Structure 1
């Protein structure tokens, strides 16, 4: 897109692990260990929120207890004016689900993905974690998983919502949003070939030693679901899926 960025263009992106109540304790401990973070003080009216605090930089991963429904992931877009951003999102086809007294706004994308506009300031990207084996890893990407029938509308929505350039990759099922330098999370839009009822999102973790990283996750209670050339699909101890990748595909061509 050209010209000024829309009011909904994120200044920062963070991800929320919405963990089912019965999986909260185990899942929170697992993700803190996997990411090398510490847990903040629990907060919220119902003590439902926790932040995974990195050793340096600003956080971009948080945990929320989900009292109904299975575990999932949603994304938070940090903007200067949540109300104005929500109005723009509605014009693009999003639905406002809830406007909180604290100022944040919960929405659903045209394809049904839950996301929020929040106002928490952040700007310092944390460094990858170095493990005792000497290898490094970091959760650094959100994958928006879109059923084929919803793909065209969802691609247009996220492009126009963020104001970021959309690029195809050498893999026909993947599109990348060109996030500004310094953002903690890249955004990948993945076409699903199954008939999922709505759009979902999962986390991707990259590493410079896939074998060592896989072994570390399995030792912490994760399991391997499927292996591909460039990534491995994992499930955390409660069954929430995510991916581990080495060097992610970067052979991009214009969309």
Structure 2
């Protein structure tokens, strides 16, 4: 059903230009022309020489913003009915796309599938030679909602669900190369599901230092990942996963 998936970065209007510069720099992409009634949308485009398809979009919003997901599908009404049967809530039905909310609160959209996409963009090389890649969306799920929410996303996507190396993590991997996979995180407290971005990096300390030079802030260090805030204080993680093997 799902032909392509987009990581959609929603960032506050007051910091949007700064965030576009930051995210396009760290992903090695170029912002497209803006679109939408208020010029609120854009796509981060890979280098044309890579012959790779884009997988990241951005939206200027009121409020704090966050991360949502867009799924390209062949038949939006059928996809909506399927999601509703699984427990999703329809938020808005716009001409050409639908906005929904997962059972415990994560926003996502069904959007029309266009021509077949090529492969996702490869890892980007930082000025010091470090490789990194935006390849994963982490769904942060409250304790009491974890079973329901995990079942929802597994059934909705039809992807392979496997246990992670730590008990609080499991993964949803697409059966064919797509721009992002999902990490499902079992939180210790109860709250609505939200999402954040994970980047795979060949050297998390070097990547974090580079991001700091571009306006990011380090929030926490763990042995295998570093938690950071982007210029709009939206948190994301730099992880020690192999950027070459992402989304395969």
Fold shared per TM-score above 0.5:
yes
- Alignment TM-score, normalising by the size of structure 1: 0.89
Kept in 2: contact 1:165–1:177 (CA 8 A): yes
- The gaps in structure 2 that reach 5 residues or longer are 243-248
- Written as runs of structure 1 = structure 2, the 5 A alignment for 1:58-97 is 58-67=53-62, 69-97=63-91
Whether 2:109 is the aligned partner of 1:111: answer no
Distance between the aligned counterparts of 2:81 and 2:113, measured in 1? 19
Per-residue deviation, 1:170: 2.2
- 1:182-224 per-residue CA deviation (whole Å, 9 max, x = no partner) reads 111111111111332x100000001112222111100001111
- 1:112-162 per-residue CA deviation (whole Å, 9 max, x = no partner) reads 100001124334211111223222111000101101011010011011111
Kept in 2: contact 1:76–1:118 (CA 8 A): yes
Q: Which stretch of structure 1 is more off in the superposition, 143-152 or 162-171?
A: 162-171
Whether 2:11 is the aligned partner of 1:19: answer yes
Tell me the residue number matched to 2:246: none
1:52 to 40, 44, 50: 44
Kept in 1: contact 2:120–2:177 (CA 8 A): yes
Tell me the residue number matched to 2:153: 158
SS of the residue 1:93 aligns to: coil
- Alignment TM-score, normalising by the size of structure 2: 0.92
Tell me the residue number matched to 1:176: 171
Kept in 2: contact 1:144–1:201 (CA 8 A): yes
Question: How many matched pairs?
Answer: 237
Distance between the aligned counterparts of 2:100 and 2:141, measured in 1? 17
Per-residue deviation, 1:24: 1.0
Q: CA RMSD in A?
A: 1.3
Distance between the aligned counterparts of 2:12 and 2:126, measured in 1? 29
Tell me the residue number matched to 1:41: 33
- The gaps in structure 1 that reach 5 residues or longer are 1-8, 249-255
